[in-house]
Structure 1
């Protein structure tokens, strides 16, 4: 910083110098401030998931989450709109990873095939704690979705909000305009339904599987084959 100021004094004053040097002077402070905010946000997420696991979602209050980090409820609401919003942070990370994995699939790979590979790989990473995912948080969300109608409904709503982005990605892979070609919308809706069907089958014990990724992979494989199944009654009857 001293060298920058010394250089400026050699060439003389010019309009805007104060603004430039002020920005330069504030940059380290701004960086520390952002890091502190990020640490606070992460601490609130850690606190929330720990309390959700111990007490359940409904029994946990925003005040308790904030107290565990030694901040006020007002501070909590600077980072999150609600308790549900904390859970959505993990889902956002999942979706971002799936989006990246889907985009990276071979360009000539059919849409559902690409989605199956991308989604199953990311879910397995969540289950195994790979690529920075926390398997305990993933397990906590799964448990909360089974035990809390509020969490399940919120997850459904959050998934539906991703419909437009999923439609856009599918349309790009297909090379079509989603305003005139409705197939990307059908794919996005179908994939969202597959995710929730997989969860319901696993949580109800309808299928014999230990992991969400196993059920999801099987259902997406069925979607790959097509769902226009033949009727039980032959056409000649």
Structure 2
């Protein structure tokens, strides 16, 4: 195999790396990883999926890849969390109240490092989707009483009929001290993470760690939550379905 022109490969999951049936060719990926490592390059899964889901997705590969979970809230190397960007309990409560007032039709999941919460009255379609993406999901009567100050909250995810991510971010940040960032993760879902958290900034951390430049990064994605990652990379490819 000829020498690669890049040192770091970053790949989105849904609509990019995964097939439509949520699988990938494990044998082929194993061979590709061998070639990547022979070239002293690094493979990074860069996803809005939570860490708990990614661990299941890449069982057998966890010591050979790095991961960005929850759109940049968690950075993982060798199956160990090396960096976290969390929403404070105060801001989580303020967000839940804000959503109840302004977007009462939305179903919500609150994602933590160790557990995720949805309400019992969330829509059946939302619950069905969350059952796959959040294997640690717990149904509770009320999110504001269920989420503890000890929970390490990485993001909130909302369902929507139309994308109101820019509106929510602008209105919430105008009236609250701790700022947040909203992005559409596709499939009628919107993610809320701490301000300045995105896949691009997460990749900057890994680039520094690997002593690599953005010009030595190749990235693949298909959604708005891939925007900063694709803009950062020296080689960037948007999927045909983007």
The answer to which structure has the higher helix fraction is 1
TM bracket (short chain): under 0.3
Structure with the greater alpha carbon radius of gyration: 1
Q: Which has the higher contact order (CA 8 A, sep 6+)?
A: 2
TM-score (normalizing by structure 2): 0.26
Tell me the TM-score normalised to structure 1 length: 0.26
Tell me which protein shows more strand as a share of its residues.
Answer: 2
